[in-house]
Structure 1
Amino acid sequence: METQDPDVIEAVKLSGESSLEKATAKAKAEFDQLLNVSLNIAVTGSTGAGKSSFVNVLRGLGDDDDGAAPVGVTETTVEATMYEHPAIPNVKIWDLPGIGSPKFKANKYLKDVKFNTYDFFIIISSGRFQQNDIMLAKEIKNEKKNFYFVRSKIDSDIFAEQKRKGFDEQKTLSKIREDCKKNLKELGNPKVFLISVFDLEKYDFEKLQNTLEEELPEHKRSALLQAWPVCSAESLEKKIKFLKGLIWAAALASAGMAVVPVPGLSAACDAGIVLLFFTRCYYAFGLDDGSLKKLSEKVNKPLQKYLGKSKIAAAIQNKTLTRLQVSASLATLATLEWLASLFPGAGSVVAAGLSFGTTFYLLREGLNELANTAREIRKEAGLDPMCSNS
């Protein structure tokens, strides 16, 4: 190995490569994938099924928030409309017109909405799936792409059934699921996911996430994991584990130029990459204003105040007007002095430039701080009473 520096040896070891050069190249590729790999999700289905509300949920927005997809009791989507995820711009969610609407007939629907744009399709219905849905699924299958049936507005069905004598929620859910499958029998045995956009903790929202992860190409999974809303303790822990597994790459990508020290060469890009990583963690863990506002309203508790327990979360929140983007605005945060102030334990090494060891330390401690803040917020919200820091 080119050097006996213990930090460098550790960096190469964590990468699984045989040399520093190869390890650095791999780190940069993995970090670039974290930030830039594209994911295009198509949401379609019957007119009025709740497509736009589902798009808004995936983007962490309420129907009345600025930038949300418009919703209504009639067809509000008249053309394929792309919505960037507010925090993960490489994830794009497409609100497609309802199949069978006057402008989009089933027999040429895929051509009209530019089929090849999307990685997979989510077909939504608020009742029984219709022949148009089945025709669409067949065409998607013929083109060798994946589709998933989502039965929306389950909360309304449960509310209506609760008034009946002998109501049993699980039996009601099973009945709805089997009724959907019965109507789709000519497609074999497709999976049907029951969801409510008003309560992601319930029903099949997490199961849908797990299925998508299993069936997506590996390089696309990172985008899904970052963007998918936190819907359970398990969902949060999966995000934490995933991002922990990338600390070595972010550390080596940011400190790669400093491994062989050249005064002043790496300081600006080092801090910028570290902050990009923290920003992705911040949003992936649901610590942004939009996510906390929705959760606070749901449980009727002021949860934003808990961000103050994390220096990093508070810094990100206080230094943005609406949201922190991967853009030139990060330059205002990207200073070594700011990083050093967060973790004094890094000592004077930070002032001299970020080595791999120092950067790894900063990333590990920062991620743990953000993760524990997210756990504490969920616990305070009464969602994960048994959640413990790990």
Structure 2
Amino acid sequence: MEDLGVDVAQAQLAMEQEVDGMLQQLTDAMESGGLPALANEVQEIRQKVRDVTAQVAVTGPPNVGKTTLISTALRLSAETAALLQHAPKPAPCFQPGRPRVIFWELPAIGGASFCVNTYLRQVDVDKYTGFLILSCTEFSREMLGLASELRRIGKPFCLIRSKIDVRRRCYRKREFADEVLCALRRQPLPHLDLESAVVRLFYLDCRDSEDFDFKPCVQALQDASPSALLRHSLLVSLSYLSNKFQLKTSLKQLTPIWAIHSLVVDPVGLAGLPYQVNARFLVDQIYFYRLILGIDFQALKVQAKRLRLPTFVLSDELRAGLPCSLSEVDVVAELTKWTALKVPVANSKLKWVPLLRQLPGGEISGAAVIRLLDFMVTQYMIDVYRIESKIAAVLRGE
């Protein structure tokens, strides 16, 4: 990928095209083998989406904050971070139970015998979604040579000036960028110019995801992901660092898949609904939205503890319709409302209507489930904004 600052609209279009391909797969399955084939195909697609895992490489000289950056991004405990620091390199690390993104701390860069091509071959460069290259001083020729080679082969990367907290007054000044990249000016590299390098340059205090360029750096890497599903995986896995609008859009683009899954994989008849549906699957899917958005009870408890507040101060900000302790009864009651309203699917999802009409419950069943899932994503995202506003007010002393 030539530029890290890829157009977000282009990235969203890539996801739309990915989902269009899934629609074609499901349509072909229905036409060739009916409901059994459709059920098998939608389960395979679900597994494909769940299996996509982004691999992010973190490298640089010794003692520049590589382990700290990974620990902060993944919200690791101090004990886990200590194990990572002393693990043989390359060392993988991911959130327990949620390995959609794996950060790899690579062997340190530098030394008289360092060779970029040998290094990339040894760490298996092709398996990584992107690279984070850290330095706490100026970038050496070895580091910039690595960046130059990554740019040549089309691998996304970010140059990160770490430990920026010790030089706050220099943050984001062009003079500082020139100082950091002076090695590039002295010895120009064939595939990396100063303008390109400055675009890719981020300033981090690796201990604090809320300060400086931590979030913009992660978001730039997400946007530059080489495939739509890898980008989705990064958005979901690092949701608290993600652009909320992009995350919401990515989640909503997949709701027709999950709607069809709920209607053709192990559906059962339920009182009040004129069609069969797998309510347990919908409960799990809706709880998944709550979990990745960080508004489940455990996440709120951790946030409240950090702020030295009772958990209810944050949980009281939740306004979404379904209770915290989700049950199949709650979901069916909500789904019954959407079915009775007979609200059509959004214009962006009209392409799904021909396939929905072939389902046992007809178009109205698929439309109701899609609208329910879209509604929950929207409402939960509003809750996220409310909680963020509350936290900001608490930090201001209000």
Tell me the alpha carbon deviations over residues 300-328 of structure 1, each in whole angstroms, 9 at most, x when there is no partner: 54456534645767337xxxxxxxxxxxx
Equivalent runs, 1:124-273 vs 2, <5 Å: 124-158=134-168, 161=169, 173-185=173-185, 186=188, 187-189=192-194, 190=197, 191-219=200-228, 220-231=230-241, 235-257=243-265, 270-273=278-281
What is the rounded CA distance, in whole Å, between the counterparts of 1:311 and 1:361 in structure 2?
Answer: 14
User: CA offset at residue 179 of structure 1?
Assistant: 1.8
Task: Answer whether contact 1:307 1:313 (CA < 8 A) is retained.
Answer: no
Equivalent pair of 1:53/1:71 in contact (CA under 8 Å): no
Q: 1:296 to 1:95 in 2, by over 3 A?
A: farther
Q: Post-superposition shift, 1:123? A: 0.7
Give the Cα–Cα distance (whole angstroms) in 2 for the partners of residues 346 and 29 of structure 1.
Answer: 28
| Corresponding residue SS for 1:92 | strand
Per the TM alignment, residue 228 of structure 1 is displaced from its structure 2 partner at its CA by: 2.2
Cα gap change, 1:67 to 1:214, in 2 (>3 Å) = same
CA RMSD of aligned residues (A): 4.2
Q: Structure 1: 5+ residue runs without aligned partners? A: 1-13, 162-168, 317-334, 386-390
Distance 2:331 2:166 in 1: 48
Distance in 2 of aligned mates of 1:119 and 1:58: 16
Distance 1:31 1:144, change over 3 A: same
Contact 1:57 1:197 in 2 (8 A): yes
CA change 1:304–1:144 in 2 (3 A) is farther
Question: Given the alignment of the two structures, is residue 306 of structure 1 paired with residue 311 of structure 2, yes or no?
Answer: no
| Conservation of the 8 A alpha-carbon contact between 1:52 and 1:70 | no
Instruction: Decide whether aligned partners of structure 1 residues 304 and 34 sit closer, same or farther in structure 2, where only a CA change above 3 A counts.
Output: farther
The correspondence of residues 349-388 of structure 1 with structure 2, limited to 5 A, is 355-382=365-392
Counterpart in the other structure of 1:388: none
**Deviation at 1:216?**
1.7
Q: TM-score, normalised by structure 1?
A: 0.68
* Equivalent residue in structure 1 for 2:71, among 50, 56, 71: 56
Contact 2:73 2:209 in 1 (8 A): no
Residue of structure 2 in register with 1:41 after alignment: 56
CA distance in 2, matches of 1:46, 1:293: 37
How far 1:271 sits from its partner (Å)? 3.4
Aligned match of 2:128 = 118
Name the counterpart of 1:284. 292
Per-residue Cα deviation, 1:162-219 (whole angstroms, up to 9, x for no partner): xxxxxxx66x644433322333343312121112234433322333234223322232
> Which residue number corresponds to residue 315 of structure 1?
325
Cα displacement (A) at 1:226 = 0.8
Aligned residues: 330
What secondary structure, in the 3-state scheme, does the structure 1 residue paired with 2:72 have? Answer: helix
- The SS at the match of 2:99 is coil
Distance 1:229 1:243, change over 3 A: closer
More helix by share: 2
TM-score w.r.t. the length of structure 2 is 0.67
Identity score, percent: 21
